[in-house]
A and B are shown apart, each in its own frame.
Chain A
Amino acid sequence: MKLDASFAILWGGVALLMLFTWYKKGWAGVRQGFADTWGLTKMVIQIIPFALLVASFFVELLPGHLIAGLIGKDTGFTGIVIASVAGGLVPSGPFLSFPLALSLFHTGAGPAQVVAFITGWSVYAFYRVIVWEIPMMGVQFTLVRVGVSLFLPILSGVLAELMFQYVRL
């Protein structure tokens, strides 16, 4: 088991949050917290082991040099645009998009392009638009929402490009 900062932060957060819940809402609150956790776990356990397995096969399947050529470290603005659109086309939730982002990383994508990929998935969200947004909010709302969001992933990718000059991964 690899121990690092994210491990410490997460489990430190768990401890603090449990204490706070106990302080605010007593044992009933803590029991509710465990019940809600169990509900989430039942859902996630049916997804994560499989999504990670699919992502591992993806890493072997993806032609690394092709991906690197399209959204690699040196593809700059064009790579950011391509990565944004590719992210928007991911037909699913975070259980697929984040493992996919990880496999893109492993096959040579640039970090700023991966940022654009995640933001593109977050705000274009083609699948979410079809399944949730248009049925619930209507076409007009969706058009305005997507319209004002068009440049957002590209903006985040460009900002990331600037920041990654100072943060080494």
Chain B
Amino acid sequence: MIWSAVVTVTALLCWQMRGPAAVEKALENYVDQLSVVAPRMLAALLISGFIQALVPRALVTQWLGKGAGAKGVFVATGVGALTPGGPMLAFPLVLILRNAGASTTSLITFLTAWATLGFHRILMWELPLLGPDFALVRYLTSVPLPFAAGLLAVACTWFVARRRAARS
């Protein structure tokens, strides 16, 4: 429903602002793109589905819940990168981990890794749409990010704790 409205609006805008030739060109591009994306998307969906069937969630929760300190940052990065699915899966997982005693640092690291390194999303979207060279460079530039976020979060926590201590 929402999509048909969005499609209609953009199509009308395109017609109004750029003329019928632009609409025709957009449709031609669309058919081209679809023929490239569809066979890759099918493979990506199969990979995602089989990984979901293969990896037990309880194991993931257990490993990350116990992780702390520098080791926790590495575990959080790895598990974050391996966590499939969107925010509807990631945030409930983060909440469970917090209740199980995971530190803010490892949760931030986990979320950053899930968002930037999530290989599920790379397989499903980035590789089919943007190609292997771009995906590789984008991935490499994101490898330091969860560690940077985790380290900064450690510094933040330390700073806040020190100020609290100084005040009391």
Chain A residues in contact with chain B, CB under 8 A?
A: 1-2, 4-7, 9-11, 13-14, 17-18, 20-21, 24-25, 29, 32-41, 44, 46-61, 93-95, 98-99, 101-102, 105, 111, 114-115, 118-119, 122-123, 125, 128, 131-133, 136-137, 141, 144-145, 147-149, 151-152, 155-157, 159-160, 163-164, 167-169
Secondary structure at chain A's binding surface: helix, strand, loop or mixed? helix
Q: Is the CB of B26 within 8 A of A59?
A: yes
Q: Which residues of A contact B49 (CB under 8 A)?
A: 33-41
- Lowest 4 A-B CB distances belong to which pairs? A37-B49, A36-B49, A50-B3, A33-B50
CB distance from A134 to the nearest CB of B (A): 11
Chain B residues in contact with chain A, CB under 8 A?
A: 3-4, 6-7, 10-11, 13-14, 17-18, 22-23, 25-27, 29-30, 33-37, 39-41, 43-54, 86-88, 91-92, 94-95, 98, 104, 107-108, 111-112, 115-116, 121, 123-134, 136-138, 140-142, 144-145, 148-149, 152-153, 156
Additional pairs, 4, CB under 8 Å, beyond known A36-B53, A156-B116, A168-B133: A29-B53, A94-B125, A95-B125, A145-B153
CB distance from B59 to the nearest CB of A (A): 13
CB distance from B60 to the nearest CB of A (A): 16
Q: Which residues of A contact B47 (CB under 8 A)?
A: 10, 13-14, 17
Q: Which residues of A contact B30 (CB under 8 A)?
A: 52-53, 56
A11 to B54, CA, bound (A): 18
Q: Which residues of B contact A57 (CB under 8 A)?
A: 7, 10-11, 13-14, 23, 26
Q: Report the nearest A residue to B11, measured CB to CB.
A: A57
What is the total of A-B residue contacts with beta carbons within 8 Å? 236
Using A40-B49, A50-B3, A60-B22 as known contacts, say yes or no to A164 and B37 having CB atoms under 8 A apart: no
What are some 25 contacts across the A-B interface (CB < 8 A)? A6-B40, A6-B131, A10-B40, A10-B128, A14-B47, A25-B54, A33-B53, A37-B45, A37-B49, A53-B7, A53-B30, A61-B13, A61-B18, A93-B87, A94-B86, A94-B121, A94-B124, A95-B125, A123-B145, A132-B88, A133-B91, A137-B98, A155-B141, A167-B136, A169-B134
Using A37-B48, A144-B104 as known contacts, say yes or no to A10 and B43 having CB atoms under 8 A apart: yes
Q: Is the CB of A115 within 8 A of B33?
A: no
A169 to B144, CA, bound (A): 23
Q: Is the CB of B35 within 8 A of A111?
A: no
Q: Is the CB of B130 within 8 A of A101?
A: yes
Q: Report the nearest B residue to A169, measured CB to CB.
A: B133
Q: Is the CB of B6 within 8 A of A50?
A: yes
Q: Is the CB of B145 within 8 A of A152?
A: yes
Q: Is the CB of B43 within 8 A of A14?
A: yes
Q: Is the CB of A149 within 8 A of B125?
A: no
